Amino acid sequence: MKIHYLEIVTPDVEGVCAAYSAALGVVFAGPDAGLGEARTAPLPGGGSVGVRAPLHAGEQPVVRPYALVEDVEAALASAVEAGAEVAHPPMDIPGHGRFAIYILGGIHHGLWQL
């Protein structure tokens, strides 16, 4: 399994980015509109980490890894068959790929297709 995108949702975007930069030497880019205004940095071996604020009042802080898959629909169907609940159906993000989110065991899981 390869993590393509590691999403961190927090009300303190600048604080989290500053802490990662200080402790780990991570350099974040400015906000990316396609990723919910997430500030992103590359992950070793490819992919990226993104830190963003909640997109609406009901969105709670979360750390959500997105596994790279060849077919997001098929991977999501397999997760649902295993008992997962779909939190976000497959959707294209122009310039980034296609993603879906499911919840299983109380944990958010993401799928990412390039």
The residues spanned by each domain of the chain are: 7-62, 69-114
In 1-114, DSSP assigns E strands to: 3-9, 31-32, 38-42, 48-52, 62-68, 85-93, 97-104, 107-113
pLDDT in tens, 48-78: 999 999 999 999 999 999 999 999 999 999 9
Going by C-beta distance under 8 Å and a sequence separation of 6 or more, which residues neighbour residue 30?
Answer: 39
CATH of domain 69-114: 3.10.180.10
Can you tell me the distance from the alpha carbon of 37 to that of 102, in angstroms, rounded to the nearest whole number? 22
Going by C-beta distance under 8 Å and a sequence separation of 6 or more, which residues neighbour residue 114?
Answer: 4, 68, 97
Q: What does pLDDT average to in each consecutive run of 10 residues of the chain (114 residues)?
A: 96 98 95 97 94 96 97 98 98 96 97 98
